[in-house]
Each structure stands twice: as C-alpha cells, then as structure tokens.
Structure 1
Amino acid sequence: MMTDIGEAAAAEVQPNITSNEPEQLVAMTNATDKLVQGILDVYQSPLQQMKNELQELLKKQESLVDKMQVENKQLTETAEDEQCIEMYSTIKIYNDKLLRIKKEMSSIHERTLKLKKRALRLQQIKQKEALAKEQKREEETRREQELIGKPLSD
C-alpha cells in the first residue's frame, strides 16, 4: 500500500541510482530519510492514537480487576460468616417445613373436595328417597281413600 509521499520518494530515488556512487549514497541517504519520514507521517498518528486507547483500556481493566477482587473478598467473608451460615441453615429448615405444610394443605384440600362431592351425592340420594317415600305415602293415602270413600248410592 503506497501513499503519495511514498511514491514521490521512490520517484526521487530512481533517477539517482544511475549516477556515480558517492553522490548516489548521499542522495540515497536523503531519499531514505524522506521515505522514512513519509512512512512515519502516515502511520505515526494512528499508531499513537491506538497506543493511547490501549493505555486507557489497560487502566480500565486494572480498575475492574481491583473491583472484582474487592467483591470476591466480600463474598468470601460473607460466606464464612457464622451468622450467615446459621441463617442459611435456618432458612433451609423453614423452607422444608413450608413445603411439608403446602403438601399437607393440598392433600386436605383434595380430601375436602371429595367429601363435599360425597355429601352432595348423599344429599341427592336422601332427597330422592324422601321424594319416593312421600309419593308412596300419597299413593297409600289415595288407596285408602279409594277403599274407604266409596259410599253406595242406590
């Protein structure tokens, strides 16, 4: 990838190659200096900017590493704290109790629903029996009325 500066320097160097050696060395030295300066002019500012960005990135990385170390230290201290360990075990015990109570409540709820359905069925059966009994009683009363109630008309 050649730039305008690099091409100009190369154009200056080429005609001097055919001349005599001492002048050629001086001209090549000047041309080399110009070529180096041209390359530096082209690449120096982006490289300097990259260097600055990398330095900034490294500073931020170091800051993050320090923060992470502090957080890890705090977490380690918290995990080793006797009160926290005791509290975690208490939480586990109460969580197990809660799960057991929930399971019991669910079981009781299911049994209650079954009992309600059974009670409803029994109530319906009782009502049917009472209705049948009432109908039977009415029929007996009607029969008795039929047997008793017919006077002889002559």
Structure 2
Amino acid sequence: MQLHTTPIEAIPIACDPHALSAQQQERWMIVGKQMYSAIEEIRELPGGYAFRLPGTAEMLMIIAEDLTMERLCCPFLHFTLDVERTGEPFWLSFTGGEGAKEFLRASIEEFNMLDVEVATAAGFNVSNAKDIDSVNAAIEVANTVNMLTSSNGDNGDGQ
C-alpha cells in the first residue's frame, strides 16, 4: 500500500472554511469562541504561536473538537498540544512553513476572538478586529485574511 501525501510546501497558505460542512461551520463558531476566548497567554515561536489554555478536562475536549475542524480548513498548519500533569495549563501551538506565521498574525488581528489584554500583551493590534457573530462573518474575515496574506507575496508555494 502506497501512502500519498502532499509536501507541506505545496499546500496553499489559506483558510478554506468550505472544507467544513455547514454543520461543522456552525459548531466551529461555538467551539472556536470557547477556545480562543480562554487563551491566557500567547508566545511567539519561530514558525507560529503557542497559546496557554486552562488545563481542565472540559478545555481538553474543546481543544480536541476545535483541532478536528482546524485541520480541515487550514491543512498547512501543524498543531502541537502539550499536556502536563493534572491542573497544569495546556500549551497549544500552531506552526507551519513559510507564510504560516504571517497568516496566523493576520488571523489574530482580524478575528475578534481573543481577550484584548492577552492579544495586546503579546504584541498584536486587535483594535480593528471584526466581531464574529455568524458563519458568514467568519467566512468573510477568513477571505480577508487570505487576501491580506497572499498580497504580501506569499502565493502558497513557499516563495
């Protein structure tokens, strides 16, 4: 049996919300808000960002459900979850190849899902972030982020 995989460099740096079914898009709105609003700290990494989240059983289930959907719409990202002993916070990392970090920064600054103090402390400008109150609003912002990051010279082929 031969396994066919696409090299990470060949995957476009763009969010494809239509990779999710309508039901998944609705669920992502709920789960995404729960997860992103719970982020307590953001650390910059060479290829992305790490997010500190409460180390509860409930949060672990929210993270798992969110990542199930994030993997579909953003296949260019690599997700790592560090789970320490009970009660310790989780560290969830989003990283990727060339252009992924810029995409993540634009997403954080465009989507109004993080606590403003947490985002500002990490050096993000969220003053113009859009409120996401519907799937259509999320898709519109995703399209904006895709345009912003592709206009910065990243055409998805790593060049």
- Structure whose residues are more often helix by fraction: 1
- TM (norm. structure 2) is 0.20
Higher relative contact order (Cα pairs below 8 Å, separated by 6+ residues)? 2
Higher strand share: 2
Q: Greater Rg, structure 1 or structure 2? A: 1
